[in-house]
Structure 1
Amino acid sequence: MKKIILAAMAAMLTLNAGAAEKKDGEKANQPVFTTVKANPITSIKNQNRSGTCWDYSTLSFFEAELLRKTNKTFDLCEAFVANKTYMDRAIQVVRLHGDCQFAQGGSAYDPLFAIQHYGICPEDAMPRTGSLYGDTLFNFNEFFNVMSPYVAAVAKSNASKLSPAWKNGLQGILDSYLGKCPESFKYEGKTYTPKSFAAAIGLDSVACNEYVSFTSYTHHPFWTTFAVEVQDNWRNPLSWNVPIEDLGRIIDNAIMNGYTVAWGGDVSEEGFTRDGLAYMYDTKKLESLEGSDMARWLKLTNTQKKNLIDSLGVNVPEVTPTQKQRQERYDNWELTDDHGMLIYGIAKDQNGKEYYMVKNSWGETGKYKGTWYMTKNYIIANTMDYMVNKNAVPKDIRKKCGF
C-alpha cells in the first residue's frame, strides 16, 4: 500500500509539474509590447449601442490632428455630425425612391463632409449623449425603430409630388433623440457658429482639403481613384487605389511622422478578439499544429480552438496577405466593412513582430483599456479603406497621385 501511495504521489507531482510548465509556457507566449511610436490622441469614448464607429473614429482622427497642429485638446460632438449626416442620407434615400440603404453606418468621409458643409461644435454644446431618452450613452434601438420606417414611408410613397413637410418631421425625430444642432454657442468665453468654430480651430474648408483616402484592389487600375463599393460609402467619395505594399507603407510613414490614420475595415474575423488583440490566423497551420488533419480541427469546439490559439499567443501562425487574397475575400463577401477605428501607433512584441496601436470606441474595454494591438498582417488583410493627411503620405506616392 505504501508503495502505491508513493507512486500516486509521484504521479500527482509529475502532473502538477506538467500543468505548471504548460501554464508557464502559455504565460510566456502572452504578448509583451514595446512601443515604437505612439502619437498623441484624445480620450477613449464609448459609442455604446449605436452604429456610429465612423463618427467616433473620424472625429478622434480630427481631434488628433488638432493635437498635432495646436497642442490643444478638443472634444468634438458626435451627435452634431450624426444629426446632419442622417438627414443627408435620408434625403438621398428619398431622392432615389428607396433604392438605396438607410442605416446607422457610414464612412470616414461623412464627418469630413459635415465639417466642410455645416461646421462642428464641441461636445457640451449639445445635450449629453443619451440624456434625451433617459440613457447615459447612445442607444439607437428605439431611435432607428422610429426613424427608419418614417424614411421608408416617404421614399416609397405613391404621391405624385412630395411636400417639404417630411423633412421637418424627420428633423423633429433627429432632434428628439440626438439634440438640436446649435445655431450658435459659447466656447471659452467667445460666441461661435458651428462654421466659425470649425474655422477657428483649424478645420476650415482649406484644411479639410488636406485629407485623402486610400484602398487596394485589382478590379480598378492602380494609381486611379474610385468609390469603394460598399453600402455605407453612400456619398461615393473617391479613394486612391494603390498596390498592397503601398497600403502599409503609407500607414507606417504616417505614424512615424506624427500622424494618425482613420481606418475602416473588417473586425468580424476570429482573430479579432474582445481582449484588445487582432491576429490574421493561418487556419491551415493551426490545423497541422493540432497534430492531425482538418477533420480533427473541425471537431474541436469554438472554446477548444480559442484555448489553443490563446495558448500560442504571440506564436500563433499568421497569414501574410497578398493582393490576390484581398481581392478574392472582397469579391466573395468575406472581407466586409463593419468598423471604424483610429490607428495611432506602432508596437513590437517580445518576438519582434510589429502591431498597430489602434484606438477603439467601445469604452475602456479589453486588456489595454480601449486600445487594440492589431498585427500589421491583420490590418493590411482587412482594410477596406482609410483616410490620412496628404502630408503623411510618402513623397513618391504623392507624386504618383499628383498632390
Structure 2
Amino acid sequence: MKRLLFFILIMSTLCSCTHKPKGFVNDVLLSYTPVKDQDTSQVCWAYAMLSTIETEHIMMGDSVHLSVAFVEKAVEACKEAPASKRGMGITAVNIIQKYGLVPYNSMRTVDIPKPRLAFMYGAEYTLQEFARSVCAPGEYIGLMSDSDLPYGQTAVPQWKDNWEGNALLNLPMDSLLSITERAIRTGHGVCWEGDISEQGFNWEEGYAVTSLWNGRTTDDHCMAIVGLAHDEEGEQYFIMKNSWGTKNPYDGLMYLSYGYFLRKTVAVFLNRQLIYSTSR
C-alpha cells in the first residue's frame, strides 16, 4: 500500500509539472470587451470580428460592446448562407453593412426578435446608422497568403466558408505576420482565421505552438488578436481572445506562437489603413 501511495504521489507530481501553464510576459495588451462563450454555435467568426471592431474603438477612447446574437440572427436571412452559419471574419462586416447592428445589451441571445432601433448613451439610431458608426463601409480588409497565386493582388479563395465570394489581398506569410504585429503595436485589433487541428493547439493550457506539422492548413476557427507576448525562452506570441468561455489558465485568452501563426494562418482581417496608409 505504501509503495502504491508513493507511486501515485510521484505520478501526480509529474502530471502537475507537465500541465503547469507556461510563463508568459505580456509586451502589449490592448483593451477588449469580456470574453464570451459561443457554446455549440459555429459563429466564431462573428465573435472574433466584432471583438476586433470593439477593440479598435476602445483603443480610440470610444466604448463599444456589440451584439453577436444580432449578427447570428441576421445570417438566417441570407439565402446563400449554410445551415451551419459558418463564415469568415469579413462575413460579419458584410452582414452588419447590410442588416445593421445593435449594442450587446440590446440583444444578447438569438431567441428574441431583432430590435428595430439601436440605442447608445441616450441617442437613437437606425440599425444601419449604428452599424456605420462602428464600422464604416470599406474600413476592413482581408489578407491571405497563397504561394500559388500572385502576391500583391486580390483573389477569391475557394474556401467553403467564403460562400459570399469575398476577395482577399494575397501577400507573403511573413508580410501577414509583420502587418499583424504592427497593427497590435499601434492599437488596432485583428481578426485571425486559421487551423486549430494542429497537435500543438492546447486550449486547456492556454497556448498554441507548432509541433509535428502535416503540411496542410485547414480553416477551423476565428479568434481576435489583442496583444503580444514572449515566453521564458524569448519566443514571441500573439495574445488571442477566444470565444470558448474563460475556463483556461488565462481567463479565455490564448498565447499563439509566431511559428504557429506562420504555419496555420488562413487569413487576417484588419483596418484597411494599415495597408494603404502610414498614419494611425
Provide TM-score, normalisation by structure 1. 0.62
Which of 72, 83, 87 is matched with 2:62 structurally? Answer: 72
Give unpaired runs (5+ residues) of structure 1. Answer: 1-11, 94-100, 130-176, 284-318, 320-324, 330-334, 399-403
Shift of 1:25: 11
Count of matched residue positions in the alignment of Structure 1 and Structure 2 = 271
Report the CA distance shift for 1:224/1:181 in structure 2 as closer, same or farther (over 3 A): same
- 1:362 to 2:247 alignment: no
- For residues 88-136 of structure 1, give each alpha carbon's deviation from its aligned partner in whole angstroms, at most 9, with x where no partner exists: 1xx237xxxxxxx54221111111012222221012223x42xxxxxxx
- 1:278 to 2:222 alignment: no
- 1:85 to 2:72 alignment: no
Q: Distance in 2 between matches of 1:371 and 1:280?
A: 18
- Report the RMSD for the aligned CA atoms in angstroms: 2.7
Aligned counterpart, 2:53: 62
Q: Distance in 2 between matches of 1:231 and 1:348?
A: 34
Shift of 1:257: 1.2
Query: Structure 2: which amino acid aligns with 1:360?
Result: N
Aligned counterpart, 1:267: 196
CA contact (8 A) 1:254 1:393 kept: no
Aligned residue runs from structure 1 range 232-247, under 5 A: 232-247=161-176
Where 1:195 maps in the other structure, the secondary structure is: helix
Aligned counterpart, 2:260: 378
Q: Distance in 2 between matches of 1:121 and 1:85?
A: 15
Aligned counterpart, 2:125: 192
Aligned counterpart, 2:182: 253
Aligned counterpart, 1:214: 143
Aligned counterpart, 1:114: 95
- For residues 204-247 of structure 1, give each alpha carbon's deviation from its aligned partner in whole angstroms, at most 9, with x where no partner exists: xxx23121111111221111111222111111111111112212
Shift of 1:367: 0.9
In terms of fraction of residues, the more strand-rich structure is 2
Q: Distance in 2 between matches of 1:198 and 1:102?
A: 25
Q: Distance in 1 between matches of 2:21 and 2:90?
A: 37
CA contact (8 A) 1:76 1:122 kept: yes
Q: Distance in 2 between matches of 1:344 and 1:265?
A: 16
Provide TM-score, normalisation by structure 2. 0.87
Q: Distance in 1 between matches of 2:15 and 2:43?
A: 41
Report the CA distance shift for 1:208/1:65 in structure 2 as closer, same or farther (over 3 A): farther
Shift of 1:394: 8.2
In terms of fraction of residues, the more helix-rich structure is 1
- 1:39 to 2:30 alignment: yes
Shift of 1:184: 1.9
CA contact (8 A) 1:257 1:392 kept: no
Q: Distance in 2 between matches of 1:103 and 1:123?
A: 22
Which of 142, 155, 159 is matched with 1:230 structurally? Answer: 159
Instruction: Give percent identity, aligned residues only.
Output: 30
Report the CA distance shift for 1:186/1:212 in structure 2 as closer, same or farther (over 3 A): closer
Q: Which has the larger radius of gyration?
A: 1
